[in-house]
Amino acid sequence: MKEHQGAYCTGTYRNLLAEYGYGEEAIQRRLDETWEQLFEGDEETRIYYPSGEDMGYMLDTGNLDVRTEGMSYGMMMAVQYDRQDVFDRIWKWTVTYMYMTEGDNAGYFAWSCAPDGKRLSNGPAPDGEEYFALALLFASHRWGDREAPFNYGTQARDLLRTCLHKGEDGPGYPMWNPDNKLIKFVPNCEFSDPSYHLPHFYELFALWAYPEDRAFWKEAAEASRQYLHLACHPVTGLAPEYAYYDGTPNNERGYGHFFSDAYRVAANLGLDWEWFAADPWQREAVGKIQAFFADKEPEDYRRYTISGEPFEEPALHPVGLLATNAMASLAADGPQAKACVDLFWNTPVRTGKRRYYDNCLYLFALLALSGNYRIWMPRGEA
């Protein structure tokens, strides 16, 4: 028997905040308040906006656009909070304005639109698609399917099929390389983004995708875990924003360093360990990341090489970075695990122009650290 089993096997989710001494009432109050701030709050905190009678969108407040990243994040947040009303509004907006029916990217979602729905790009970003798919599967299991587009399970399985098979009998490219099973940065290029790698999602796709695709997803989970071994620096644990398939940084456009995208790697390692506990290396990796930041204050966070050399450029999203480092404590067993969680707990949500990305990562960390970022199983299997 393994030393530790993940929540998928046990059905038990760690409330790390409670383990570290925070009270249940205080934790629930923080959960409620954070949802209210992000989804119902004033213009200094909110990132969700209702649109018309039955739609809504997540606004990237720094760029004033609507991205598949944020829309899929909002759907995952809504299903975890049991807010089907918000989930359906976001999904309808996504289907109405972002879903592409023509050209090389038909079947995918345009990664950026204006708040009025105008398409700003005809290209997709795979991190949105993978979050859409799992959020839809969780919605199907938690709430049941209805008429299209709220036949969540079918929508998810069709999307996953497109992600794997696009281009086989027509124009376009798949989002995963069919040979090495690694997710691409965008479909028509052959490199990756380490923060896109979500093996804990792929384990679930291997259960609930169309039967003919399930073996691929199981292999993709293992391939992504091994890829992160290559992409994370052996001393600091830091990963680059973009990396080649061998894990080495892709710095062709200046994205081969540890910056905004890459913060998510620590959070993903923490949640994969919490759900599946399949790769003990993850505990070492997040310990190294936390140790690297142990002597740094959030106001001093910078862009770094993956070996840890700082640039003058300050971090754009320090709250997001400290949130992902806290979420990593689900896997960490080193001396910095509690300190990272305490820093997170004592930090409020970000306000102002650049709050969107920070506060998405903040809410995911809060859900995960309180034991509320959960796998929603099919009815009858919970």
- Which residues are part of the catalytic machinery? 69, 261
Specify the amino acid at residue 301: Y
Helix axes 264-276, 281-293, angle to 10 degrees: 140
Rounded to 5 degrees, what are φ and ψ at 54?
-145, 20
Specify the amino acid at residue 114: A
Question: CA 375 → CA 62, 75, 123, 178, 368, distances in Å?
Answer: 31, 14, 30, 27, 11
**In degrees, to the nearest 5, what angle opens at C-alpha 160 toward C-alphas 154 and 164?**
145
First to last CA, the chain: 22
Centroid of chain to Cα 164: 19
In whole angstroms, what is the distance from residue 306 CA to residue 237 CA? Answer: 8
